[in-house]
Amino acid sequence: MEKQRKVILSFSDRDREPIEFPILSGTTGPDVIDIRSLHGKSGMFTYDPGYLSTASCTSQITYIDGEAGVLLYRGYPIEQLAKQCDFLEVCYLLLNGELPNATQKTKFDDTIKRHSMVHDQLASFFKGFRRDAHPMAVMVGVVGALSAFYHEAMDISDASHREVSAYRLIAKVPTIVAMCYKYNIGQPFMYPRNALNYVENFFHMMFATPAGDYKLNPVLVRALDRILILHADHEQNASTSTVRLAGSSGANPFACLSAGIACLWGPAHGGANEACLNMLGQIGDVSRIGEYIKRAKDKDDPFRLMGFGHRVYKNYDPRAKLMRETCHEVLNELGLQNDRLFKLALALEKVALEDEYFTSRKLYPNVDFYSGIVQRALGIPVSMFTAIFALARTVGWIAQWNEMISDPEYRIGRPRQLYNGAVKRDVVPISQRK
């Protein structure tokens, strides 16, 4: 029987006894120090703003090795999934832990199709927004509003209710994202078509109109399918941690995903693809790359190279490599090989990866660096990029939420703090205050 490995915390102040903490190991990746007894035994908390050294949960869904640039969904390398599977296959894998066989895939695809329409009353919510509202503002509201439509299946302790909520979200979020776009451009909403597959349907709802036929391009459909696979899940990132924390109070999954969408919107997170494309537009020309690299390195300048750097990846984000390949494919298919922004992005990447500031800090392109260029080439407007990211991450959020709620040991998340505010003092009547 292997001896339990442990850490012994000893204190420099002599009168405190050392405390022992067990070391826990997963199937792979870093071990953790189980400090759950720390406060009870010492009256102290750990201090880790930004959670750089904190494991918030156990999980079997996604594994990242940031040093090696490895990303596995349920043990399968992202490179293999992106090339050999479609997005709904990956959704099935993330939800169930195994890839579907042919029968299971057909059944899953049909189930998702049957949930792709939204309640017609949901369309009324859009009328309350300005036409030029940011799609993520609409997404936060409308996805959260789904909570008002499924009272018959909101008992989160019931696995069948959690399952149907997962199907509803995976199926309806693309419909809602397309509705955001149609509302923004003043075109009528397009209903989903069951004759189409998941991504074909999304293109149809985004770009078809009642006035005529819409011709799908299989290369573009495959490209977007791959983009969705690359964004589907990513361990305990900020928005997933938001969904878990919201879910830990027992909130319904629709409300939890609305919170996740709100967090993803930030430019340091999912908003980076929109910010990256805007940045490339701002740089404008290869001749100005040096000026912006200089700004990115200047501590007094808030400008950062959007699409570069990552909290976990201290090597190339494997998704960025696949995204760059997809970029080539799409631009070649569309005869845009000389796309100005793509050439600018390639040049910017080359300059940054030869610059000591970036290499010494292990700042490499992340998933957002190329995704904006591909999406723009697919005809998706910049303002919709993060909504597409939310569409893809819906399955990751709901799989992680379900994993937490299914764990009988889960409890409400409630971090503590290092308080450095005013100590206890008495109120002075206003007449005596200076």
Residue closer to ligand SDX (CB basis): 156 or 305: 305
What's the closest the beta carbon of residue 10 comes to ligand SDX, in angstroms?
30
Angle made by CA atoms 279, 280, 284, in degrees to the nearest 5 = 115
Distance CA 165, CA 150 (A): 9
Residue 233 host element (H or E): none
What's the closest the beta carbon of residue 376 comes to ligand SDX, in angstroms?
17
Distance CA 109, CA 214 (A): 22
List the one residue from 274, 349, 368, 403 that touches ligand SDX (CB under 6 A): 368
List the beta bridge partners of residue 76: 73
What's the closest the beta carbon of residue 250 comes to ligand SDX, in angstroms?
25
For the record, the structure tokens of 243 come out as: 């969904």
Distance CA 214, CA 153 (A): 36
Q: Are residues 35 and 21 in contact, defined by beta-carbon separation less than 8 angstroms? A: yes
Contacts of residue 330, Cβ cutoff 8 Å, sequence gap at least 6: 219, 220, 223, 336, 374, 377, 378
Sheet holding 32-33, edge to edge: 6-9, 19-24, 32-33
> Quick check: 226 binds ligand SDX (CB under 6 A)?
no
> Quick check: 314 binds ligand SDX (CB under 6 A)?
no
> Quick check: 192 binds ligand SDX (CB under 6 A)?
no
> Quick check: 308 binds ligand SDX (CB under 6 A)?
yes
Distance CA 52, CA 44 (A): 19
Distance CA 59, CA 282 (A): 40
List the one residue from 296, 344, 345, 404 that touches ligand SDX (CB under 6 A): 296
Pairing mode, if any, of strands 70-73 and 76-77?
A: antiparallel
> Quick check: 39 binds ligand SDX (CB under 6 A)?
no
> Quick check: 311 binds ligand SDX (CB under 6 A)?
yes
What's the closest the beta carbon of residue 273 comes to ligand SDX, in angstroms?
8
> Quick check: 367 binds ligand SDX (CB under 6 A)?
yes
List the one residue from 116, 147, 366, 375 that touches ligand SDX (CB under 6 A): 366
Selected range binding ligand SDX among 8-16, 41-49, 279-287, 300-308, rule: CB under 6 A = 300-308
What's the closest the beta carbon of residue 127 comes to ligand SDX, in angstroms?
32
Residue nearest to ligand SDX (CB): 309
> Quick check: 340 binds ligand SDX (CB under 6 A)?
no
> Quick check: 309 binds ligand SDX (CB under 6 A)?
yes
List the one residue from 304, 314, 328, 343 that touches ligand SDX (CB under 6 A): 304
Going through 15-107 in order, the beta strands assigned E by DSSP cover: 19-24, 32-33, 62-65, 70-73, 76-77
Selected range binding ligand SDX among 96-104, 145-153, 308-316, 338-346, rule: CB under 6 A = 308-316
Selected range binding ligand SDX among 25-33, 88-96, 254-262, 299-307, rule: CB under 6 A = 299-307
List the one residue from 307, 320, 322, 377 that touches ligand SDX (CB under 6 A): 307
Which residues are catalytic, by number? 310, 368
What's the closest the beta carbon of residue 368 comes to ligand SDX, in angstroms?
5
List the one residue from 168, 182, 226, 310 that touches ligand SDX (CB under 6 A): 310
What's the closest the beta carbon of residue 305 comes to ligand SDX, in angstroms?
4
> Quick check: 293 binds ligand SDX (CB under 6 A)?
no
Site for ligand SDX in 252-281 (CB under 6 A): 268-270, 272
Residue closer to ligand SDX (CB basis): 147 or 242: 242
Q: Are residues 220 and 330 in contact, defined by beta-carbon separation less than 8 angstroms? A: yes
Residue closer to ligand SDX (CB basis): 20 or 301: 301
Q: Are residues 231 and 392 in contact, defined by beta-carbon separation less than 8 angstroms? A: yes
Distance CA 235, CA 288 (A): 36
Q: Are residues 137 and 129 in contact, defined by beta-carbon separation less than 8 angstroms? A: yes
Matching residue, tokens 């007894």? 37
Residue 197's nearest CA partner among 224, 179, 169 is 224
Count Cα atoms within 13 angstroms, Cβ side, for 226.
Answer: 29
Contact residues: ligand SDX, CB under 6 A: 234, 237, 268-270, 272, 296, 304-312, 361, 363, 366-368
